[in-house]
Structure 1
Amino acid sequence: MYTEMFKSFSEQTEKSLAPYVKFNKLFTKNVEELTELQLAAVRAYSDLGLSQLKAISEIKDLQSLTSFQSQQLENLTNLSKQLVDDSNKFSALAQGFKTEVEELVAENVKQVTPA
């Protein structure tokens, strides 16, 4: 008697908590992807900054200064491309998360709503 009651209670609890478990898995996956994107962006910007510092330390005369300055336009172009690319990646990640959450909510509403 008690075994059947606990089994029924366990099944009901598992069924009622399933949407929370799905959401938590989805959220965790999103945080992992977001963290990876942020680490990659920090790494790229740090590398750019360090390369700039090294290039500045190599300036010894007017010719090396001119060379450094001519390289700056290319560096700014690369930086702007990197910023646009990173913002597109973050936007796509956010949009994907939103879509998946909306699907999860629609699925749960469909289960709860009587036919």
Structure 2
Amino acid sequence: MNKATEKTTQQLESIVAAPMRAYAAKTLDYCDQMLSAQVDAARAYSDFSVAQMRTWLDVKDADSMKKAAESQQKAATDLMERFKGDAEKMNALSQSFFQDSQKLAEDSLKSVTEATQKAAS
């Protein structure tokens, strides 16, 4: 009876518990990376906003107004590039997580199939 219990425990570990832990670890890593990317982006956007506000605070005459407007145009271009880069980074993280999750599911299904075939024979 003890060997049967041990075998069942091992099967549950390999078929259920191990894949669940692996998926939970992947999910935690994904959430950590995505949160980090979002915090970095938020920090960059707030730094950008503060810098632009400071530029406009320095406007005192027509020449400084012209420089501030030119700075605004360059900053808008830089910000759009940052948005694009951040979107690409987050998309890559999501794609990687999806692919890793899909592989874990396939591996888990393979383990279940193998265990079922062993039990049937």
Q: TM above 0.5, one fold?
A: yes
Give the CA deviation at 1:28. 0.2
- How far the C-alpha of 1:72 sits from its partner, in A, is 1.4
Q: Give the C-alpha shift of residue 37 in structure 1.
A: 0.3
1:33 is matched by which residue type in structure 2? Q
Gaps of 5+ in 2: none
Identify the residue that residue 74 of structure 2 maps to in structure 1. 74
Q: Call closer, same or farther: CA 1:112–1:5 in 2, change over 3 Å.
A: closer
Following the alignment from structure 2 to structure 1, what is the Cα–Cα distance between the partners of residues 4 and 112?
23
What residue identity is the alignment partner of 2:71? Q
Following TM superposition, the consecutive aligned residue runs of length 4 or more in structure 1 with deviations greater than 2 angstroms are: 4-16
Structure 2 SS opposite 1:113: helix
> Which SS does the other structure have where 1:60 is aligned?
coil
SS in 2 for 1:41: helix
Q: CA offset at residue 8 of structure 1?
A: 4.9
Alignment: residue pair count: 114
The residue aligned with 1:85 is: 85
Identical columns (%): 25
Report the TM-score when normalising by structure 1. Answer: 0.88
Query: What RMSD, in angstroms, separates the aligned Cα atoms of the two structures?
Result: 1.9
1:9-31 CA distances to partner (integer Å, 9 max, x unpaired)? 64344333111111000000000
Quote the Cα distance in structure 2 between the aligned partners of 1:61 and 1:113: 76
User: What stretches of structure 1 of length at least 5 have no aligned partner?
Assistant: none
